[in-house]
């Protein structure tokens, strides 16, 4: 809620994208009178990039939507540029590239008195190279989690799921900073895993009130993880918001909020655990049986967020995978997309690969936003 206590409603509109700069679906919503561009407070999406176009696809989609907001709304450039956008690239064959725009407007509380979706966003303070592999990086991420909760009118305990990007400085900057201080250089994998673990533990500590582990366990101990995070870890790339900062979207369910949406989540034990879909739907308060979602439930889906890890050690339920195949890592996204899309009966799904300490070893996290009206 804003400072004056006015109840708010989060709504969301999901549109397919035929190419990375396609905003025709948003144009149609505006033309139909269903969407006011000035109400959009956050964007998530899946782009079709791979290979040389992998990162470019996210930048293209980000800038296309910002151009749409400038051309169709009344907000100044600075406000448009500050809108958080969480795009993930690589469609994994079966997924449909798409965007989900989230709006926030004044509203009456939900008539049934039950919790409804809340959404907040934040950017951390500037993250410095010398903070890598230190508690300072985790503290900066924790501050961003707390700020996102506050922006959404939530207490930290209300936060159900966090998506976005956990920033780390470019490797050259880290190496230069550490060389000046007489510290050893760090590998890409060390930085990536620490950044991924940093946001996982920042969310866990802020939302669940658990103490932070020893810094040496962050990004290394697979058995210490959070089930509420789907956050990529990388250097700033001109997408999602100004760098060099962590950018987050925090989703929760709060009483007194208005609207039609609620979020449910589930831990994904491994890549075969497609039953996480029905657990997340039930967590949102919708009763559903086991197996693929029936049409009356799948039609309620507004957004799906999945984070997955590679099977630990290349072993899935005791069986070795063909990790020698050069396409092994790429193919995992196709596997995850196919399995979860079939269970959801919906292939407009946001999937982010490569989480560390985001879900159990070899598993991941899942959240689904549904219409519960």
Residue 26, domain CATH? 3.30.1330.170
pLDDT band at 276 (very low <50, low <70, confident <90, very high): very high
Per-residue pLDDT of 146-180, as tens digits, reads 999 999 999 999 999 999 999 888 888 888 888 77
CATH of the domain at 358: 3.30.1330.160
The pLDDT > 90 percentage for the chain reads 78
Assess if residue 236 is contained within a domain.
Answer: yes
Q: What is the mean pLDDT of the chain?
A: 92
**For residue 3, pLDDT beyond 60:** no
pLDDT of amino acid 175: 85
Residues 164, 228 share a domain: yes
Mean pLDDT of 228-236: 87
Q: Which tokens sit at 48?
A: 């079709």
pLDDT of amino acid 135: 94
Residues 231, 136 share a domain: yes
**For residue 271, pLDDT beyond 60:** yes
Residues 347, 302 share a domain: yes
Residues 124, 246 share a domain: yes
Assess if residue 112 is contained within a domain.
Answer: no
pLDDT of amino acid 7: 84
Mean pLDDT of 54-69: 89
Residues 135, 254 share a domain: yes
User: Which of 50-54, 64-68, 82-86, 279-283 has the least mean pLDDT?
Assistant: 50-54
Of residues 311, 283, 307, the one with CA closest to residue 365: 307
Assess if residue 272 is contained within a domain.
Answer: yes
Which of 259, 282, 310 is the C-terminal boundary of a domain? 259
Residues 161, 241 share a domain: yes
In the chain, the number of structural domains is: 3
Residues 267, 250 share a domain: no
pLDDT of amino acid 330: 83
Per-residue pLDDT of 102-112, as tens digits, reads 999 999 999 99
Q: Strand 364-371 to strand 261-268: parallel, antiparallel, or no bridges (unpaired)?
A: antiparallel
Residues 362, 271 share a domain: yes
Which of 107, 132, 154 is the C-terminal boundary of a domain? 107
Of residues 137, 130, 135, the one with CA closest to residue 177: 130
pLDDT of amino acid 195: 94
Which of 83, 107, 131 is the C-terminal boundary of a domain? 107
Mean pLDDT of 226-252: 84
pLDDT band at 239 (very low <50, low <70, confident <90, very high): low
Of residues 356, 314, 316, 362, the one with CA closest to residue 221: 356
Residues 246, 320 share a domain: no
Mean pLDDT of 329-356: 93
**For residue 145, pLDDT beyond 50:** yes
pLDDT band at 4 (very low <50, low <70, confident <90, very high): low
CATH of the domain at 158: 3.30.1330.180
pLDDT of amino acid 181: 76
Assess if residue 97 is contained within a domain.
Answer: yes
pLDDT band at 1 (very low <50, low <70, confident <90, very high): very low
- Domain with 4 in it: 1-107
**For residue 83, pLDDT beyond 50:** yes
Assess if residue 193 is contained within a domain.
Answer: yes
pLDDT band at 43 (very low <50, low <70, confident <90, very high): very high
Residues 276, 239 share a domain: no
Residues 250, 124 share a domain: yes
**For residue 206, pLDDT beyond 80:** yes
Assess if residue 281 is contained within a domain.
Answer: yes
Residues 227, 121 share a domain: yes
**For residue 304, pLDDT beyond 70:** yes
pLDDT of amino acid 52: 65
């Amino acid at each position: 809620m804003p400072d004056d206590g006015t109840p708010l409603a989060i709504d969301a509109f999901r549109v397919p994208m035929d190419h990375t700069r396609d905003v025709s679906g948003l144009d149609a919503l505006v033309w139909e009178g269903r969407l006011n561009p000035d109400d959009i407070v956050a964007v998530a999406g899946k782009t079709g990039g791979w290979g040389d176009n992998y990162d470019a696809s996210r930048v293209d989609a980000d800038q296309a939507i910002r151009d749409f907001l400038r051309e169709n709304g009344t907000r100044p450039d600075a406000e448009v540029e500050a809108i958080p956008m969480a795009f993930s690239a690589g469609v994994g064959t079966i997924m449909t590239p798409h965007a989900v725009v989230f709006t926030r407007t004044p509203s009456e509380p939900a008539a049934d008195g039950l919790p409804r979706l809340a959404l907040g966003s934040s950017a951390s303070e500037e993250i410095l190279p010398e903070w890598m592999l230190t508690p300072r990086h985790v503290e900066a991420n924790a501050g961003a989690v707390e700020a996102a909760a506050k922006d959404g009118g939530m207490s930290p305990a209300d936060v159900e799921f966090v998506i976005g990007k956990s920033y780390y400085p470019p490797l050259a900057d880290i190496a230069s900073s550490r060389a000046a201080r007489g510290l050893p250089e760090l590998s890409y994998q060390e930085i990536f895993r620490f950044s991924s673990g940093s946001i996982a533990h920042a969310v866990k500590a802020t939302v669940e009130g658990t103490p932070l582990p020893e810094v040496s366990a962050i990004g290394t101990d697979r058995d210490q993880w959070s089930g509420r995070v789907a956050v990529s870890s990388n250097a700033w790339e001109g997408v999602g918001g100004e760098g060099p900062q962590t950018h987050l979207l925090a989703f929760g369910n709060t009483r007194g909020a208005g609207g039609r949406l609620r979020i449910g989540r589930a831990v994904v034990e491994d890549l075969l655990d497609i039953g996480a879909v029905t657990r997340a739907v039930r967590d949102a308060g919708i009763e559903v049986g086991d197996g693929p979602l029936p049409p009356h439930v799948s039609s309620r889906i507004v957004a799906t967020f999945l984070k997955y890890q590679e099977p630990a050690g290349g072993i899935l339920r005791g069986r070795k995978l063909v990790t020698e195949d050069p396409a092994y890592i790429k193919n995992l996204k196709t596997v995850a997309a196919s399995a979860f899309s079939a269970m959801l009966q919906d292939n407009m799904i946001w999937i982010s690969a490569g989480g560390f300490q985001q879900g159990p070893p070899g598993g991941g996290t899942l959240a689904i936003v549904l219409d519960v009206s």
